């Protein structure tokens, strides 16, 4: 009996081991490379202001130390392959003031901890997602933070037996309501191809071409293609963009020179009479209309008093000069806001006052349209307002309503331009105000731009007075050279995921895009020498001289042009801006 008991005991133990193995599936692997920095380096990571240290560490011999100083946030990222429609867990042990952990385009969390504390979150990949980027960062000027033992847990991407990536698509025939696409065949066994716009499947075909129909007139679209079979789906191709035909012309030249004219105030650059503005300027923005109070919505415009601006013309001469410019095909707009003109349309009453007062200015001077130059704290997002397609914050909702009313009132030829700072647009790739954490103004222009995209004539983001901004290459870009203008403008053309929201901002038509820069060193931080501006334009318009940067949105031969602050500063510096750039713009394709 003793021997039998021993044999039965051994058999039961073996069965238990087998049952345990089947009952408890193996845990998913940490997909990160060098997750605890035990390589003694940043191998596998891309960091701005980061290094590996031996103290303080949580486990092992090394940890990350990254410094957020000035306009740097000390961001470190790593991208891994993931499986679509799959939930992943993310965690990191961190210490600092504060430290953020998140997934680009997905959820994030943060803490303010003097000693190592664990942050954790989960995210679910979308139906077409094959990669995810984990990030850690501090906050502007908050100093050094540490991180150790970082985990991104779940099944790795890649589907054995799935077909290879198809050839990049090309654009065929375009009509008012359709765009034709074609691509070369994928390698391997292919069941068919899916054409994506963002994460949405727009067509499923067995061949290597299709036509997307039912599109809006004069609307921009970006597509990728993936092959699939029973084993899974390939990686997606590079994105290609196109715009349907039927756009209404507002009378601007293909490539325009746009400038602000100091008409209501004086500064060191001197006053210029409207009649003395050279005809090289295609769009003249009158700076500025300002509110009677921050929340009144009541916008007023006056010419600069003679006591401040020597040589200011009479109102009659000013209006006559505007008519003369318009007779030559130039557009004259009223610009609302500026550095000192805070406009918060917090109520329906303020919205209506805005519409009525701006209309009165346009009618009095016979202007061609409106430029929105809201800065400072004019726009922001309330907590929880995370869908730029359906905003809920009153200052955003009321501005959109007001602009739609003005566009409807003045018709298709009404010129609408916007001049946001990078903080309110491109920074939305990393931080979106309504998603919580940090500054609630980040990305707050995006819902306005998106809502007005069919009515928007030109978006000329201010590529100046800006800190470093992360581009679509997930690298930081700084002012003053071609690189900054290329990366920032490409984001507007290609579109980008909006941080922490799960939504993607679609790119604009190329004819709606310009970029802004100071006319001279005294006009603002970020002055760029003419040769560097021309390098940027060659890259953006011709896909040449890009300096190693790959355009995600493709070449934009119809890019609208350049904006500057300001015409006055350009004259003060002997017209360097107009003399350098107007001939170059005219020579673009």
What tokens does 36 get? 């605890």
Give residue 437's pLDDT band: very low, low, confident or very high (50, 70, 90).
low
Per-residue pLDDT reduced to its tens digit, 519-555: 999 999 999 999 999 999 999 999 999 998 999 988 9
What pLDDT does residue 160 have? Answer: 66
Q: How confident is the model at residue 220 (pLDDT cuts 50, 70, 90)?
A: confident
Q: How confident is the model over 488-511, as a mean pLDDT?
A: 91
pLDDT band at 6 (very low <50, low <70, confident <90, very high): very low
Whether the model clears a pTM of 0.85, i.e. scores above it, the answer is no
Please give the radius of gyration of the chain, using alpha carbons only, rounded to the nearest integer: 28
243-295 pLDDT, tens digit each? 898 888 889 999 999 999 999 999 999 999 999 999 999 999 999 999 999 99
Confidence of residue 16 (pLDDT cuts 50, 70, 90): very low
Cα dihedral 312/375/555/283 (nearest 10): -20
Portion of the chain with pLDDT greater than 90, in percent: 70
In Å, the largest CA–CA distance within the chain is 119
Residues 301-307 have a mean pLDDT of 96
pLDDT score recorded for residue 157: 67
Residue 22 pLDDT greater than 50, yes or no = no
Do 94 and 146 form a contact (C-beta atoms < 8 A)? Answer: yes
pLDDT interval class at 26 (50, 70, 90): very low
Q: Quick one: pLDDT at residue 20?
A: 36
d(Cα 185, Cα 191) in Å, to the nearest integer? 11
Question: CA 61, CA 255: separation in Å to the nearest integer?
Answer: 57
Dihedral angle sign, alpha carbons of residues 39, 43, 46, 51: positive
Query: Residue 31 has what pLDDT?
Result: 85
- Confidence grade of residue 222 (pLDDT, cut at 50, 70, 90): confident
Query: What is d(CA 55, CA 170) in angstroms, rounded to the nearest whole number?
Result: 53
- pLDDT more than 70, % of the chain: 94
pLDDT for position 24? 34
Highest mean predicted confidence (pLDDT) among 24-38, 195-209, 502-516, 523-537: 523-537
Any idea how long the chain is? 589
Residue 21 in this model has a pLDDT that exceeds 50: no
CA angle 400, 404, 409 (to 5 degrees): 150
Q: For residue 424, is pLDDT > 80? A: yes
Mean pLDDT, all residues of the chain: 90
The DSSP result for 193-209, as a single string, is: EEEEETTEEEEEESSSE
pLDDT band at 13; cut points 50, 70, 90: very low
Residues annotated as part of the active site: 375
* Whether the predicted pLDDT of 419 surpasses 80: yes
Residue 420: name the closest of 473, 366, 491 by CA.
491
Buried b (16+ CB within 10 A) or exposed e, 5-43: eeeeeeeeeeeeeeeeeeeeeeeeebbbebbbbbeeebe
Query: Mean pLDDT, to the nearest integer, of 334-357?
Result: 95
Q: What is the pLDDT of residues 548-586, one digit of tens each?
A: 899 998 899 999 999 999 999 999 999 999 999 999 999
Q: Which residues does 88 contact at the CB level (< 8 Å), separation at least 6?
A: 82, 122, 123, 124, 125, 132, 152, 153, 154
Going by C-alpha positions, the residue among 378, 500, 343 that lies closest to residue 437 is 500
**pLDDT value of position 158:** 64
**Separation between Cα atoms, residue 499 and residue 429, nearest integer Å:** 5
Tokens of 149: 């033992």
With 90 as the cut, is the pLDDT of residue 490 above it? yes
Looking at the DSSP bridge assignments, the partners of residue 229 are 232
Buried b (16+ CB within 10 A) or exposed e, 64-93: bbbbbeeebbbbbbbebebbbebebebbbb
List CB contacts of 531: < 8 A, sequence separation 6 or more: none
């Amino acid at each position: 009996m003793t021997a039998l008991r021993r044999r039965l005991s051994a058999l039961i133990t073996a069965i238990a081991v087998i049952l345990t193995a089947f009952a408890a599936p193996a845990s998913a692997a940490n997909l990160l490379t060098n997750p605890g920095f035990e390589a003694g380096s940043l191998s596998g990571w891309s960091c701005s202001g980061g290094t590996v240290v031996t103290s303080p560490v949580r486990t092992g011999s090394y940890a990350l130390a990254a410094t957020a100083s000035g306009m740097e946030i000390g961001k470190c990222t790593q991208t891994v392959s993931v499986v679509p429609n799959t939930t992943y867990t993310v965690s990191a042990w961190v210490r600092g003031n504060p430290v953020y952990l998140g997934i680009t385009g997905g959820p994030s969390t943060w803490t303010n901890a003097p000693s190592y504390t664990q942050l954790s979150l989960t995210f679910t990949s979308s139906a077409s997602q094959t990669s995810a980027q984990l990030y850690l960062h501090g906050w502007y000027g908050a100093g050094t933070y540490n991180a150790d033992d970082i985990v991104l847990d779940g099944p790795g991407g890649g589907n054995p037996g799935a077909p290879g990536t198809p050839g990049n698509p090309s654009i065929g025939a375009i009509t008012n309501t359709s765009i034709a696409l074609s691509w070369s065949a994928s390698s391997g066994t292919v069941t068919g191809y899916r054409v994506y716009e963002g994460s949405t499947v727009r067509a499923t075909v067995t061949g290597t071409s299709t036509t997307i129909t039912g599109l809006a007139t004069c609307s921009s679209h970006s597509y990728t293609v993936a092959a699939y079979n029973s084993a899974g789906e390939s990686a997606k191709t590079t994105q290609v963009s196109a715009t349907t035909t039927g756009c209404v012309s507002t009378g601007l030249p293909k490539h325009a020179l746009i400038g602000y004219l100091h008409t209501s105030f004086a500064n060191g650059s001197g006053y210029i009479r409207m009649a003395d503005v050279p005809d090289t300027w295609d769009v003249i923005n009158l700076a500025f209309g300002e509110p009677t109070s921050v929340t009144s919505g009541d916008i007023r415009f006056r010419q600069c008093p003679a006591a401040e601006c020597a040589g200011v013309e009479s109102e009659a001469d000013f209006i006559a000069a505007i008519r003369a410019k318009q007779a030559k095909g130039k557009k004259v707009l009223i610009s609302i806001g500026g550095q000192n003109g805070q406009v918060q349309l917090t109520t329906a009453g303020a919205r209506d006052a805005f519409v009525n007062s701006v209309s009165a200015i346009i009618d009095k001077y016979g202007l061609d349209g409106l430029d929105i130059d809201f800065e400072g704290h004019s726009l922001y997002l309330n907590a929880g307002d995370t869908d730029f397609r359906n905003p809920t914050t009153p200052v955003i909702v009321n501005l959109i309503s007001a602009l739609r009313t003005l566009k409807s009132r003045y018709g298709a030829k009404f010129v609408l331009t916007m001049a946001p700072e990078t903080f309110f647009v491109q920074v939305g790739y990393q931080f979106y105000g309504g998603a919580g954490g940090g500054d609630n103004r980040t990305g707050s222009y995006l819902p306005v731009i998106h809502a007005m995209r069919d009515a928007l004539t030109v978006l000329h983001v201010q590529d100046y007075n800006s800190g470093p901004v992360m581009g679509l290459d997930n690298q930081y870009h700084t002012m003053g050279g071609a690189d900054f203008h290329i990366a920032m403008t490409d984001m507007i053309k290609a579109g980008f995921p909006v941080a922490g929201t799960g939504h993607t901002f679609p790119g604009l038509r190329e004819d709606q895009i310009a970029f802004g820069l100071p006319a001279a060193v005294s006009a603002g931080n970020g002055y760029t020498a003419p040769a560097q501006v021309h390098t940027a334009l060659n890259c953006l318009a011709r896909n040449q001289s890009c300096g190693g940067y790959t355009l995600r949105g493709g070449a934009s031969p119809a890019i609208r042009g350049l904006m500057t602050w300001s015409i006055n500063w350009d004259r003060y510096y002997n017209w360097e801006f107009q003399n350098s750039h107007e001939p170059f713009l005219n020579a673009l394709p």
